[in-house]
């Protein structure tokens, strides 16, 4: 007989059936599956010995969808009874079953890649990083598309190599873990993603890390810890993330993102360690999180729309920032950002919008509502003259900042700077700024009662503390609202 199955002996056929039955027999809350160790050994190198970053994608030929038929109702249930929705059983792929050691020193990269390939092909799968291990992996992109309902659950410790000296030469030095081309991924857990960032922060090219406090010029690549790219319907929940070499989380080209219950921590002196960065991403919710770091708590870049931030505590750091936008004469568009019920403590900035001269586009529909400040320098700031080295040339175009509301913003400021600072473009002024119930008092020292305004138009709906009389009424005559350079979408 010529069929492939007929060439299998009875013992081999029984073994195949046993493996298929064992693959998805238990839920995430029950026993873990036992998976065969991948060929080529355990948690270190592949058989080729390579350690470079790679893309772990879904199988080349994904399994065909099963054709399900209506099931016969069990005895005692008739078709007219209310249906009880069936919950899909979760298949758990413990990375240890694929050879991961979890001892904090072994390279477990290949085990994680194998677990991803297996889980990606199964609906409602869970990749489990167990709570009793510390797992080290090198740069990897976990790519889709995958079957629906995929969960990456970190209950133990997951970390990259310890600093730039341990980073494989062939690996990408701009990112560590990337989730790409996915729909419906959840990254969650009670564990920790540890960035091992100190060696990166101390590179001589970082600000004031060179000889005698100088900064050396030249390449200064440092990896983003976790990046989501071209994906949708994402959830990130419950994790502790700390000591990233650079940004802790970055969302690029994504949509429908929910971040909830994160703890993000790095020292105040760690450079460029933004907590959460959003760019070219829409419909984002960031809730119930605590972020302390050495740069922006949350930064919102161009192409970001419909961002809702609630119940977030920031500090120390650089506050919540929109921008910087319009660098190198580029067009930048941000719209519909809400920050509500936030706390900002011991930060260089509070609520900041920053754009470069020479840019185009607009920032619009921004609402800051019920924000508590504690010892914050530059509590409220719009800066259309943003420049990193203060040697930027004056330019006549700018990103238009309009429809910005500050309501119920209260607390204390560091008296080294005025608590309210609106520095807007001569040719593209800021418009429709509204202020209501803004009360800011010195954390220590005397009241600074001279807020700064330049080319800023808006309305005080209630008196502010300190008083701000420099907002101009109406709209500037010079602003051409039909200017195509200011349009976004």
Active site residues: 318
Pick the closest to residue 465 from 391, 414, 425, 410 (CA basis).
410
Residue the block writes with tokens 């590179």? 203
Cα separations in angstroms, 36 against 30, 95, 101, 162, 171: 19, 11, 15, 30, 28
Whether residue 392 contacts residue 354, with contact meaning beta carbons closer than 8 Å, is answered with no
Whether residue 420 contacts residue 458, with contact meaning beta carbons closer than 8 Å, is answered with no
What whole-number distance in Å separates Cα of residue 433 and Cα of residue 478? 17
Whether residue 77 contacts residue 138, with contact meaning beta carbons closer than 8 Å, is answered with no
Provide DSSP, 380-410.
EEEETT--SSS-PPP-S---EEEEEEEEEEE
Provide DSSP, 417-458.
S-SEEEE--SSS-EEEEEEEEEEEEESSSS-----EEESEEE
Q: Is 128 helix (H, G, I), strand (E, B) or coil?
A: strand
DSSP letter for 71, please: P
Cis ω on the peptide bond leading into residue 47 (within 30° of 0)?
A: no
Q: Is 20 helix (H, G, I), strand (E, B) or coil?
A: helix
Beta-ladder partners of 264: 241, 291
Cis ω on the peptide bond leading into residue 145 (within 30° of 0)?
A: yes
DSSP letter for 13, please: H
């Amino acid at each position: 007989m010529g069929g492939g199955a007929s060439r299998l002996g009875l013992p081999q056929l029984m073994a195949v059936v046993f493996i298929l039955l064992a693959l998805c027999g238990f839920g995430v809350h029950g026993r873990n599956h036992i998976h065969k160790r991948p060929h080529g050994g355990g948690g270190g190198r592949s058989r080729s010995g390579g350690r470079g970053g790679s893309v772990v994608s879904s199988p080349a030929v994904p399994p065909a969808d099963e054709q399900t038929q209506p099931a016969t109702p069990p005895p005692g249930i008739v078709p007219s009874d209310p249906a009880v929705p069936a919950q899909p059983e979760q298949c758990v792929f413990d990375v240890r079953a694929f050879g991961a050691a979890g001892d904090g020193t072994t390279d477990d990269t290949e085990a994680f890649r194998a677990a991803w390939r297996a889980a990606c092909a199964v609906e409602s799968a869970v990749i489990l990083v167990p709570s009793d291990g510390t797992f080290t992996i090198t740069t990897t992109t976990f790519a889709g598309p995958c079957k629906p309902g995929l969960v990456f659950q970190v209950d133990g410790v997951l970390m990259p190599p310890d600093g730039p000296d341990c980073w494989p030469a062939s690996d990408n030095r701009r990112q560590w873990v990337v989730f790409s081309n996915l729909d419906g991924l959840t990254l969650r857990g009670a564990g920790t993603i540890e960035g091992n960032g100190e060696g990166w922060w101390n590179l001589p090219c970082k600000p004031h890390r060179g000889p005698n406090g100088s900064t050396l010029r030249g390449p200064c690549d440092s990896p983003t810890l976790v990046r989501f790219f071209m994906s949708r319907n994402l959830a990130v929940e419950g994790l502790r993330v700390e000591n990233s070499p650079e940004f802790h989380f970055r969302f690029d080209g994504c949509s429908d993102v929910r971040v909830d219950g994160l703890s993000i921590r790095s020292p105040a002196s760690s450079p460029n360690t933004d907590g959460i960065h959003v760019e070219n991403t829409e419909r984002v919710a960031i809730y119930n999180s605590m972020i302390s770091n050495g740069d922006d708590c949350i930064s919102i870049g161009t192409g970001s729309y419909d961002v809702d931030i609630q119940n977030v505590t920031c500090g120390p750091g650089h506050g919540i920032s929109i921008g910087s936008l319009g660098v190198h004469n580029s067009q930048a568009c941000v719209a519909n950002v809400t920050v509500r019920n936030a706390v900002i403590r011991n930060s260089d900035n509070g609520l900041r919008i920053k754009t470069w001269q020479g840019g185009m586009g607009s920032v619009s529909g921004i609402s800051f509502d019920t924000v508590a400040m504690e010892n914050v320098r530059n509590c409220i700031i719009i800066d259309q003259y943003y420049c990193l080295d203060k040697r930027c040339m004056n330019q006549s175009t700018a990103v238009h900042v309009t429809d910005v509301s500050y309501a119920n913003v209260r607390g204390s400021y560091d008296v080294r700077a005025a608590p309210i600072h609106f520095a807007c473009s001569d040719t593209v002024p800021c418009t429709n700024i509204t202020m209501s119930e803004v009360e800011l008092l010195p954390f220590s020292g005397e009241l600074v009662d001279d807020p700064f305004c330049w080319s800023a138009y808006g309305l005080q709906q209630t008196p502010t503390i300190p008083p701000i009389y420099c907002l101009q009424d109406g709209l500037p005559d010079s602003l051409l609202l039909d200017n195509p350079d200011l349009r976004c979408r």
